[in-house]
Structure 1
């Protein structure tokens, strides 16, 4: 027996025996990660005390989850989302200084190379849905405007679908656009009020949610990626606080600071000015960017 081996396996010393075998790992980081994963997993098994049949059900669940993964669907990411791990990893990697806007998950429907548009453009290309105007400022943590900030925005339509989910039904790049702030740090654009929608629930993750008595819905939101020289990139959403699913987001992406006020406006003069036919929704929301990260691994 080599010095790093800890003898024969038993229920009591299972963690020590298994982790000791990794002493010659090629990567210290891999060794560290596997020690933690092994310890926590063994702790869970000892607390749960699963039967052989229950453990086989767990293995079969993971096997079926893997079989569902392909070039356009990643069921394991969905599983990570619904148990809160995706949001936890996001939170750990996006710790912000006081006053900076919080991040949330990117989501699977971002599309690169969305069109760059003039400030105030309407990103709704099919004119379907309830009109909305969104505006605000991009600031630093001292309250100064950030000039030249690039906002990449996208959202689902009034039926809860992104353009990439309805090829041939929605125009390409519908409800997507890229904007750049001027010296005042202000942004504004027109869109439609987003609606809640379910995450894919026809696979193992959907079955798990049903078995847990949970619904698969995400509350209505708009996506933003905001970049500016000298600042951390911000990946975030803003949410409609009146959405019926605001307290039960299937992927735990809602944060209190990301709730925006969606105001209904009935002002014919402003409607005409904005190119709307009648009443519309108005959202005002400022984003605060953090300076370069001080965290380095």
Structure 2
């Protein structure tokens, strides 16, 4: 092994500097990172000015991060990495409900509500009845399953984005199934909305000719004792962004027909069954 780095031995020379007592998993991860990063550099051959722009982009990405905003997660999302990591870590048998990205707007401590209650506290938006069952892979109902749900409001904002406008826990709630595994609650028909695009990631999307929008969706976190929980969305059929989700979260099995109904104040109905795999 050469002592000094050159264009041809760069990755090998860097990785050879790792100490003998380096954690094996860290050695594997960093070794692969260095190898792929150096291969990328050799492939695109950036100018020094271009590499400076890349460093400046990463610097600005870090600088805009705060307790309420994580631009690096946003970067991971729009590059499809978040969904790839999710897919690798949540491989499920055929028939089990597919997962998708967790997203930044889940809140711990949402109130547990009575089955059939409305999660819509501000009275805005078109009311929708959500219903279905929680089942195992054999089609049997799962009792005492929890369904943690959250969505944006009619303007495309989550309550945590508008703490002075929306009531706490607006469009959020937790429900638990009975022996029949059935759930039903009222929320609003969600709307599409843009991810934060006023920072480096948004500027990158614009340069790439990509929009920042997510198609309309309702979030679900569903689990039960003895079963593997699933974090997923259901998406509104026909949404204009369904095939170009900015964070690549859509899967065919999660696209649901929101059917128009006339039942008092309820204007829509969405049915979806969750199928859980045992731990």
Q: TM-score range by the shorter chain?
A: over 0.9
Tell me the TM-score normalized by structure 2. Answer: 0.98
Aligned match of 1:216: 212
Size of the alignment, in residue pairs? 279
Aligned match of 2:41: 45
Answering whether residue 276 of structure 2 is matched by residue 289 of structure 1, we say yes
Mapped partners of 1:244, 1:178: distance in 2: 29
Q: Check whether the contact 1:23–1:31 (CA below 8 A) recurs between aligned residues.
A: no
Mapped partners of 1:71, 1:189: distance in 2: 32
Q: Which of these residues, 259, 263, 273, is aligned with residue 263 of structure 1?
A: 259
Answering whether residue 221 of structure 2 is matched by residue 225 of structure 1, we say yes
Q: Which of these residues, 14, 18, 22, is aligned with residue 18 of structure 1?
A: 14
CA drift of 1:113 comes to 0.7
Aligned match of 1:126: 122
Mapped partners of 2:2, 2:126: distance in 1: 66
1:222-276 deviation line (CA, Å, top 9, x unaligned)? 001112011111111000121111111111111111101111113xxxx14xxx2
Answering whether residue 108 of structure 2 is matched by residue 112 of structure 1, we say yes
Tell me the TM-score normalized by structure 1. Answer: 0.92
SS state of the match for residue 260, structure 2?
A: strand
CA drift of 1:26 comes to 2.6
SS state of the match for residue 281, structure 1?
A: strand
Q: Check whether the contact 1:25–1:31 (CA below 8 A) recurs between aligned residues.
A: no
Aligned match of 1:179: 175
Q: Which of these residues, 73, 83, 89, is aligned with residue 69 of structure 2?
A: 73
RMSD of equivalent CA atoms: 1.0
1:116-155 mapped onto 2 (5 Å cutoff) = 116-155=112-151
Q: Which of these residues, 237, 242, 251, is aligned with residue 241 of structure 1?
A: 237
Unaligned runs of 5+ in 1: 293-297
1:20-60 deviation line (CA, Å, top 9, x unaligned)? 11142531111100111011111111010000100111001
Q: Check whether the contact 1:6–1:20 (CA below 8 A) recurs between aligned residues.
A: no
SS state of the match for residue 239, structure 1?
A: strand
Aligned match of 1:169: 165
Aligned match of 1:280: 267
**Which segment drifts farther, 90-99 or 19-28?**
19-28
Mapped partners of 1:65, 1:25: distance in 2: 33
Mapped partners of 1:200, 1:242: distance in 2: 23
CA drift of 1:128 comes to 0.8
Mapped partners of 1:51, 1:126: distance in 2: 54
Unaligned runs of 5+ in 2: none
CA drift of 1:9 comes to 1.2
Q: Check whether the contact 1:149–1:181 (CA below 8 A) recurs between aligned residues.
A: yes
1:80-107 deviation line (CA, Å, top 9, x unaligned)? 1100111111111100011100001111
Mapped partners of 2:233, 2:2: distance in 1: 49
Aligned match of 1:295: none
Mapped partners of 1:195, 1:236: distance in 2: 17
